[in-house]
Structure 1
């Protein structure tokens, strides 16, 4: 499956080292099922059999692994954005930027040609707000905060978890991958220049 190949690719780029990161894609809307990476796996050697399918409650319906602890966040994003795929990485730059700008609740990104790679963005003059959400080990509570954040910022293409990493999504896996590449690029540019 493409999710496993993407996981290995993100590992190679330094965005999902060791067991960090998790990736999901909608398999079916009725009945609702998403494929998601199992917890605790090295993304550099991720294989398709290490994915599980979960239902709308996050219960594993297919596969032998345990779904990522952050499954609830994927489910919130899929529902709130009608996303076909959700990608979460732990890059150095997303982690640093999430700490540096946490007090502002997010960061404005503007003036970069790469912004045009985000769905619906037509010009480098676009202002993209990337919210930063305080991390929490209580996934139900964190899912509620993420849901409210997505409601408050309907134009956002992603968000940062403070001290943790980037979440982004797309209508399908290709679009989600493109959004991830664009946002990771922009976060590195910001980190190196500001």
Structure 2
């Protein structure tokens, strides 16, 4: 664990091991996502909620493959940086809503893979009369067991798709009521995917499982479109 460089957004005491561990987890996760090509340029964001309720999250405008602990800042449950003039990601509210509603402790990851972006844009707007959202369905895949509550490949899970909106507060209000019904995470159309877990390792495992499934769907559709 790198304890020589405290996170700039929190300025913890040298003995603040919980914060330093969270910052190191976020840095390592960013590099892992970058190796897979899931967070190009400055896309994506990663957060971790500590046992005492503090939220560590990547600051705005950072390339996730080159993160340092100084790129991890502290925000409250309203998404506001606890140190003035520190700018969190514009999408921090989507993280804090998850912590407020279903994750008293855990991690949230937002990525921008090719498969997630293309499939979210390819799916037509088929919102049903009951107001349920568009979704990609996965069934029969062994990797469905990577998601909580699943113990067999003979299952069918849905990944909801929400239309993108530059007004993050309005987008968050739209998504928040459904968070308890999204075992796989969710997609924002033309934008990317959100996943979460009780630990950073769990969130990363779910992201990798979901990205595999999305890549499978994309490849199958390519095969089905061939003459």
TM-score by length of 1: 0.92
Match of 2:41 in 1: 18
Are 1:174 and 2:196 an aligned pair?
A: no
Q: How big is the shift at 1:28?
A: 3.8
Pairing 1:27-38 to 2, within 5 Å after superposition: 27-29=50-52, 32-38=53-59
Q: Of the candidates 103, 107, 128, which is equivalent to residue 85 of structure 1?
A: 107
Match of 2:123 in 1: 101
Match of 2:61 in 1: 40
Cα distance in 2 for residues equivalent to 1:160 and 1:90: 10
Contact 2:160–2:182 (CA<8 Å) still a contact in 1? Answer: no
Cα distance in 2 for residues equivalent to 1:128 and 1:65: 39
Pairing 1:122-161 to 2, within 5 Å after superposition: 122-151=151-180, 154-161=181-188
Match of 1:2 in 2: 25
Contact 1:73–1:143 (CA<8 Å) still a contact in 2? Answer: yes
- SS in structure 2 at match of 1:103: coil
Cα distance in 2 for residues equivalent to 1:138 and 1:67: 15
Match of 2:76 in 1: 55
Cα distance in 1 for residues equivalent to 2:163 and 2:30: 25
Q: How big is the shift at 1:79?
A: 2.2
Cα distance in 2 for residues equivalent to 1:64 and 1:126: 47
Q: How big is the shift at 1:78?
A: 1.8
Change (3 A) 1:24 1:53: same
Deviation string, structure 1 residues 113-158 (Cα, Å, up to 9, x no partner): 011111221011111110001110101101101102325xx25220
Gaps of 5+ in 2: 1-23, 127-133, 222-227
Gaps of 5+ in 1: none
Q: Kindly tell me the number of residue pairs found equivalent between the two proteins.
A: 190
Q: How big is the shift at 1:49?
A: 1.3
Contact 2:79–2:92 (CA<8 Å) still a contact in 1? Answer: yes
- SS in structure 1 at match of 2:217: helix
Cα distance in 2 for residues equivalent to 1:88 and 1:114: 20
Contact 1:134–1:161 (CA<8 Å) still a contact in 2? Answer: yes
Q: Of the candidates 66, 72, 94, which is equivalent to residue 73 of structure 1?
A: 94
Q: How big is the shift at 1:7?
A: 0.5
Q: How big is the shift at 1:174?
A: 1.1
